[in-house]
Structure 1
Amino acid sequence: MVSQELDYFRAIIQANMEPLAKVTEVSKMAELSTKLGNHVWLKREDQQPVYSFKLRGAFNKLNKLPKGSVVITASAGNHAQGVALSASHLGHQATIVMPVTTPEIKVSAVRALGGEVVLHGHHFDAAKAHALELTEQLNGIFVPPFDDPDVIVGQGTVARELMQQLNELDAVFIPVGGGGLLAGMAVYIKSLRPDIKVIGVEADESACLQAALKAGKPVELDRVGSFADGVAVKIIGTETFRLAQKFCDDVVTVSSDEICAAMQDIFVSTRAIAEPSGALATAGLKKWSQQSGLKGLHLAAVLSGANLNFDRLRYVAERTALGEKNEALLAVTINEEKGSFKQFCASLGGRAITEFNYRYAGPGDAQIFVGIALRQGLQELEELKQDLTNNNYQFCDLSDNELAKLHVRYMVGGKAPEQLHERLLQFEFPEYPGALARFLDTLGSNWNITLFHYRNHGGSTGNVLAGFAIEPSQFDVFNEHLNRLGYNVQDETNNPCFTQFLTSQPQGKSVDKLASA
């Protein structure tokens, strides 16, 4: 190993986390161990004073600075709290720049820990740019959230404790956002035990490490999802990628539904409520274990944080059954006649219906949106599909259709008239008080809104599904208007959910192709 990595290893050994960061427990996940046929352990970083591992890196960085230093950072979450608490303990002055979209619970937490909060911009990039300006104006020291050697060393102490607490380990699963935790832990683990697999876990909607490994260098993602906001990073750090490229054996990506299911697993075993990014590693462990088919291994995952807005639990509960493959969502065509619903239920072979959405739309065939409980996961789903086929039902599996899960299941009940030239778009916009009204203002009033659905899930990003009546001659003008708005937008006009439940007409080309039409 080159001296640079030896320096990291020695620094992690020597790093003193006392008295601020505590040695967190390792909990056995008994139920999940039985389910997977492996010994599953959870490193409980939710037990830190700020409920996240981020305290370690911030404390190690600030502990090396002269007392009374002016430190500045940009963060919407756990790093902010780590810097604020560390600065208060060490006698530094901390200024934290947070986007105006940051939930009040996190803003209040940073202030309570002694940090001065500056709200600026509607997204992290704008907050970071302002933080760098303040750093220069105040002659301060910027504290990066992940791409910094001292921060990496602090995060690496998680591995130091884990290796002391567990004698037997075959693989360690580590959540990846900017890569600081993975880099620090990977260097330490591979320096001490090269035989232990180090596996990074990313949300599939913010997989910046996977993209960097494919390209051979850090690359910026076009967009990232907001559900696991603690790891919603567009580009991995330069130094963290260098270390990950050398010492990470594999990368697993998981969906939001799989993260929700892992949050339930953690709660069942520990009664801890992890934040989505905090359950990321457990979700990856489950997926890797199930796909590999290996048994009898000793596997550990890092529960990296538990700073969850309580109102997000509604969304998590709704998605957990889908993440565990305990529920299927189907669009089914049945006869519009008396007794057809009863006949459909009889064809399910005793399986329970969890949801049923229907509205009379005419004397022809009826479209139903139905949820069905599964006891044996994907195997039973295939059996269900075969049963429906044998009973001559036409159906579409919507279990992995995000539009169905996020919007359409709450909207089934009517269709637009056939003469309507309708386009369906899904928008994301920064979530803060008054954001929905601002969003509507920016849409303008040039086109009639034919459909609208919005639900607040307690996250930093709002999601709206909107339909617009647009004459073909206005396609190019409408497309130009969308580009000027600056929102993340996805065309869903040809999504089977829309065509089966919300419109009466066959649809044409999608909005994202209009500019070239």
Structure 2
Amino acid sequence: MATDYLKRILTAKVYDVAVESPLDSAPQISARIANTVLLKREDAQPVFSFKLRGAYNKMANLPPKALERGVICASAGNHAQGVALSAQRLGCRAVIVMPVTTPQLKVDAVRARNAEVVLYGESFTDSYNHAKELEAKEKLTFVHPFDDPDVIAGQGTIGMEILRQHPGPIDAIFVAVGGGGLIAGVAAYIKQLRPEIRIIGVQTEDSDAMAQSISKGRRVTLPDVGLFSDGTAVKLVGEETYRLARKYVDDFVIVDTDAICAAIKDVFEETRSVLEPAGALALAGLKKYAAQHRWKGKTLIAIACGANMNFDRLRFVADRAEVGEAREAVFAVTMPEERGSFRRFCELVGNRNVTEFNYRMADSKLAHVFVGLQIASAGESSKIAANFRRHGFTAIDLTHDELSKTHLRHMIGGKAPATDNEQLYRFEFPERPGALMRFLNSMSPNWNISLFHYRNQGGDYGQIVVGMQVPPSDKKAFKTFLSELGYRHWDETENPAYKLFLR
């Protein structure tokens, strides 16, 4: 019942460990999108994430005997730190099961709070199943990261604080969604007291289990999830969080990696704080939704839900933020190898700032150029490409092409003379010792690697692009190799940028 959640939230025991996070104005973003934007700063919590609220509320409501026996959870991130700190404050045993792929930084943070870390499995699912086994074996209490009424109520205190901090008009609140605990708690509270406020869930395009579930009227299990916004990478949402979201959430908006990177940069420029990808997800959705619906003059709130950012990942964020903010566009341009061509091309570029320029002669007649240009708005890249074409230059707008943005921009350098039967694939895999060797050892020795590019982005996952010469007679074996390997992959053999620069 909704009244049960109102009572649970109003009596939640979160403030023994959590703080009432500030609701800060974002004047630069507000001016740019012509709406009043406020940021609910959950990155200001002691563990730099909202997860502390739900974990502590669950544990503080346990019977004394259950606390004496201890608690257990499965998590590779913020929930683990929330449970560890809560156990430290309550003086109880805490066992945290984490995948073996968890970065050492996060393992050390949990151990620093005197929790017992058990490294098991390569995915959250492996860790979760092992945690459930240990729960029964050692008579511990499982603290679920999202699908528990006490956890949901703890997260719902964020909604309570928002209404207390901003009693004036609020048009919409944007909430990042993974398993659904945060949006379920916030929506259950807000909709009972201020039903006119729209609650908008934000998900990534490769981890949208809740949006798909609401659309289809049943919980949907995703076959795999993207790893960039690891805090929201959930294949199956909770039963209770799904029920509450279906009842109270007004709409969903789906964003891509570039939009998240742009939002991280936005918050840094406003606050000098660096959010993790999941923490910036709500703001990315706010900006996209406001633009899609042409909102002006509205009051919009984004919950900045976490800031446990791996510092090395900032390299990737910086690379992609300009594209996500629609400040950079990238193109493949073909021009004749003749005097005056380059000058004519530069005249077309005009006063625009050139952010990147890569060139290599393809033959005596044509040259292919990879160029990045500074732009002012999202729709500008297609107009620039059309203008190049009108003046005799073949141009492809690569602004939204993943292969080009992640790999090719670092690889422009000509074509190999003999690459018959070359297949080009992108792979994404967890960053752990042995992952690359597992890939290589799985390949047939008959397949020659004709192209290979890998760049460590400092995150929890790695990306490679590989060219392999696979004879037509080995096509069936190649398909078996891909299915058994277990890494996410994309066939890029017909990608037009690959054909121009590398094939």
Task: Give TM-score scaled by structure 1 length.
Answer: 0.94
Q: 1:419 to 1:429 in 2, by over 3 A?
A: closer
Task: Indicate whether 1:87 and 2:87 are aligned.
Answer: yes
Segment drifting more, 336-345 vs 116-125: 336-345
Quick one: which amino acid aligns to residue 99 of structure 1? P
Do the aligned residues in 1 keep the contact of 2:258 with 2:320 (CA within 8 Å)?
yes
Question: Which residue is equivalent to 2:111?
Answer: 111
Q: CA deviation at 1:340?
A: 2.3
Matches within 5 A, 1:320-399: 320-374=321-375, 376-399=376-399
Quick one: which amino acid aligns to residue 324 of structure 2? G
Q: CA deviation at 1:404?
A: 0.7
Q: Determine the C-alpha separation between the residues in 2 that align with 1:217 and 1:455.
A: 39
Secondary structure at 1:358 match in 2: strand
Matches within 5 A, 1:58-73: 58-65=55-62, 66=64, 67-73=67-73
Question: Which residue is equivalent to 1:241?
Answer: 242
Do the aligned residues in 2 keep the contact of 1:420 with 1:469 (CA within 8 Å)?
yes
Q: Determine the C-alpha separation between the residues in 2 that align with 1:441 and 1:470.
A: 16
Quick one: which amino acid aligns to residue 61 of structure 1? K
The partner residue of 1:54 within 51, 56, 62 is: 51
Give runs of ≥4 in structure 1 deviating > 4 Å. Answer: none
Q: Determine the C-alpha separation between the residues in 2 that align with 1:499 and 1:157.
A: 54
Q: Determine the C-alpha separation between the residues in 1 that align with 2:68 and 2:19.
A: 24
Q: Determine the C-alpha separation between the residues in 2 that align with 1:409 and 1:20.
A: 46
Q: Determine the C-alpha separation between the residues in 2 that align with 1:443 and 1:230.
A: 32
Do the aligned residues in 1 keep the contact of 2:69 with 2:139 (CA within 8 Å)?
no
Q: CA deviation at 1:445?
A: 2.8
Question: Which residue is equivalent to 1:224?
Answer: 225
Matches within 5 A, 1:169-188: 169-188=170-189
Task: Indicate whether 1:6 and 2:3 are aligned.
Answer: yes
Q: CA deviation at 1:223?
A: 1.6
Secondary structure at 2:357 match in 1: strand
Quick one: which amino acid aligns to residue 351 of structure 1? R
The partner residue of 1:38 within 35, 39, 61 is: 35
Q: Determine the C-alpha separation between the residues in 2 that align with 1:378 and 1:349.
A: 19
Q: Determine the C-alpha separation between the residues in 2 that align with 1:120 and 1:99.
A: 5
Quick one: which amino acid aligns to residue 47 of structure 2? V
Question: Which residue is equivalent to 1:22?
Answer: 19
Question: Which residue is equivalent to 2:446?
Answer: 446
Deviations 1:76-125 (A, max 9, x none): 10000000000111121111111111111111000011211111111111
Quick one: which amino acid aligns to residue 314 of structure 1? R
Task: Give TM-score scaled by structure 2 length.
Answer: 0.97
Q: Determine the C-alpha separation between the residues in 2 that align with 1:196 and 1:297.
A: 11
Do the aligned residues in 2 keep the contact of 1:27 with 1:270 (CA within 8 Å)?
no
CA RMSD of aligned residues (A): 1.3
Segment drifting more, 204-213 vs 45-54: 204-213
Secondary structure at 1:347 match in 2: helix
Segment drifting more, 245-254 vs 136-145: 136-145
Q: Determine the C-alpha separation between the residues in 2 that align with 1:427 and 1:158.
A: 38
Between the aligned residues of both structures, percent identity stands at: 50
Quick one: which amino acid aligns to residue 380 of structure 1? E
Q: Determine the C-alpha separation between the residues in 2 that align with 1:477 and 1:273.
A: 45
Segment drifting more, 158-167 vs 434-443: 434-443
Deviations 1:21-50 (A, max 9, x none): 111111100001111111110000001110
Q: Determine the C-alpha separation between the residues in 1 that align with 2:207 and 2:15.
A: 33
Deviations 1:359-382 (A, max 9, x none): 1221121111111111x2134334
Deviations 1:161-192 (A, max 9, x none): 11100012111001000000000000000001
Secondary structure at 1:278 match in 2: helix
Secondary structure at 1:377 match in 2: coil
Q: CA deviation at 1:477?
A: 1.5
Question: Which residue is equivalent to 1:312?
Answer: 313
Question: Which residue is equivalent to 1:163?
Answer: 163
Q: How many residues align?
A: 499
Segment drifting more, 423-432 vs 173-182: 423-432
Q: CA deviation at 1:348?
A: 1.4
Q: CA deviation at 1:419?
A: 5.5
Do the aligned residues in 2 keep the contact of 1:429 with 1:439 (CA within 8 Å)?
no
Question: Which residue is equivalent to 1:285?
Answer: 286
Q: Determine the C-alpha separation between the residues in 2 that align with 1:257 and 1:459.
A: 15
Deviations 1:62-88 (A, max 9, x none): 101223232111101000000000011
Deviations 1:420-457 (A, max 9, x none): 11001111222123432333233353311111111111
